[in-house]
Structure 1
Amino acid sequence: MAKNNRTREPVNRLIFHSNLCVGCFACELACKAEHHLPVGVKWIRVKRDESLSGESKPRLSFQVSICQQCEAPPCVPACPVGAIFPRKDGLVILEKERCNGCGDCIKACPWGAIAFDPARQTASKCHLCAHLAEPRCSTYCPTAALAHSLQNK
């Protein structure tokens, strides 16, 4: 039996290292500036998490909410007009020109990573700065808490 020697195309991923995040919001600001996002629309969200975790002192940590570029994205079949599709490189793209603004993809996303742009009346989401070599959020992160990675499937 012959082995399949096809080379798989690497897929884009953004890796978050919570132990390195200091909650500076540089990633949010870089994303908003790069994509000219209006007030209230965020493609990446830094969330503060304060918990006791069995210790006497509260522990402060941060989490990042961003599109996970899912391998089987639930937003794709949820879109009635086919405005969202996965690319071979793993990016999940939302074509704003095709979006009818129904919000079905927003409801389908388990990560809460799709935003509604009230100015355009369409959904919008992260595409890891597909037009750049590296996503702005990761290049502006001063602690390298966000790292762009190309991984084999």
Structure 2
Amino acid sequence: MNKYMLYLNSKRCIGCHGCEIHCKTNKRLPVGPILCEISHEPLKMVGGIPKTEYRFRSCYHCEDPYCVPVCPTGAMQKRDDGIVFVEQEKCIGCMACIGACPWAIPQANPETGKVVKCDYCLDRVDAGFKPACVTKCTSHALKFVSLVEL
């Protein structure tokens, strides 16, 4: 079974935030919850030239996720391919998964009162496509890779 990860080549990232916009668009999320985030390292001098690097933060789809066992309804699940996701129909909005995640990756959707998180755009992955953030990355800095390929 393939296992997946998102990889950012920070040397290619231009900090346009297109990944965040297309993630929210694909998930139809309101202003508020951010499932993936681009931030930048402070400006520093490298060889006399000012430089900054961007970081991409998203769900780590942990091998042994903290968020899954605390969910009282089983809404937070992990697939055989390692993708951790929320089954929206089962989520009651208790937010236990948010408190359990050391990185506070799951977020509350203010419109539904339920939890949302990066699931690599399961609908797209299951249809053979890449996540929205990767597809719309204008500088091709984000890659969606199978761990088997590495």
The structure carrying a bigger strand percent of its residues is 1
Counterpart CA distance in 2 for 1:86 and 1:144 is 28
Q: CA deviation at 1:57?
A: 6.1
Mapped pair 1:74 → 2:75: no
Cα deviation digits, residues 68-115 of structure 1 (max 9, x gap): 111111111121221111101111111121112111111222233211
How does the TM-score come out when normalised to structure 1?
A: 0.85
The alignment yields a C-alpha RMSD, in angstroms, of 2.0
How does the TM-score come out when normalised to structure 2?
A: 0.87
Mapped pair 1:149 → 2:149: no
Structure 1 unaligned blocks of 5 or more: 1-8
2:115 maps to which of 123, 126, 145: 123
Give the AA of the match of 1:134: K
Query: Are 1:23 and 1:62, in contact at CA under 8 Å, matched by a contact in 2?
Result: yes
Give the AA of the match of 1:61: E
Structure 2 unaligned blocks of 5 or more: none
Aligned to 2:130: 134
**Percent sequence identity over aligned pairs:** 34
The structure whose Rg is larger is 1
Aligned residues: 145
Counterpart CA distance in 1 for 2:106 and 2:96 is 10
